[in-house]
Chains A and B, each alone.
Chain A
């Protein structure tokens, strides 16, 4: 009697457990999970330092050189920490979801590089911060479709800050770059590090 009364419970638990297993397997199989949280915090910190240095530059060329230097440092930190995390969580970077993440992420980055040259030649310096932030955010929104949910959300936040930089006064540029590349990287890096294993 007791057995008959209690038997549906394990069945219910097993069904729930099976559904959970399917969901987790699909998430792991369909998502690129090697986006490095700690790496983003480090990138954000260097971006804040770059914002301080760039804001003191007197010529646009030096300002641009400061940010390009920061981008190279960020690329090195981000790349290294991503490879480390990918190795740790056994998530291939160049195949499956990782490959789709990169293809989607790098396309807006290439457009950003091209537009930087065009805007530099046209002397439209004030449009650079907004363009960078918007396209960086677009990369995370599109690439984030193949990653964990927080990644496209982060991309959207970058796009909002980018839109503010593009539509607001030119004086907002450095603040927006500091808030985006500095603040958002640190905040979302912390979330990713805490929730998604580093």
Chain B
């Protein structure tokens, strides 16, 4: 057991950082690679907060679609959702978390790396 751990550890350390980043990026693809989710994260990256209706108009999507994708991002803790009332009208507001911002940055890095690699190839 100890031997197996000792063998595995150097392998993990020796793993090239590029490969490691690519693996992590591949993981995040499942969360923000999808268009609507990528749009939500991108829009929130340049705004402190956006309401449900603002995001819906911006991404030109339906209530149900936006709701489902926002929920997935919320579960991943990439965004936070707060509900309040503006007068009598319910207001749902989304914000990007630090984890969400890092995920977007990693995703951008990954896309840029892909472009660089294919250009070099």
Contact = CB atoms under 8 A, between A and B. Distances in A.
Interface in A4-26: 8-9, 11-12, 15-16, 18-19, 21-22, 25-26
Contacts, number: 63
Interface residues of A, number: 20
Contact size range, B: 20 to 34
B114 interface: yes
Given A18-B111, A22-B38, A95-B54, A11 B118 contact: yes
A11 B26 CA distance: 14
Contacts of B45: 26
Contacts of B38: 18, 21-22, 25
30 contacts: A8-B117, A9-B118, A11-B114, A12-B115, A12-B118, A15-B111, A15-B114, A15-B115, A16-B111, A19-B112, A19-B115, A21-B35, A21-B38, A22-B38, A22-B108, A25-B38, A26-B46, A28-B58, A29-B42, A29-B43, A29-B44, A29-B47, A29-B58, A30-B47, A90-B58, A92-B57, A95-B51, A96-B47, A96-B54, A97-B47
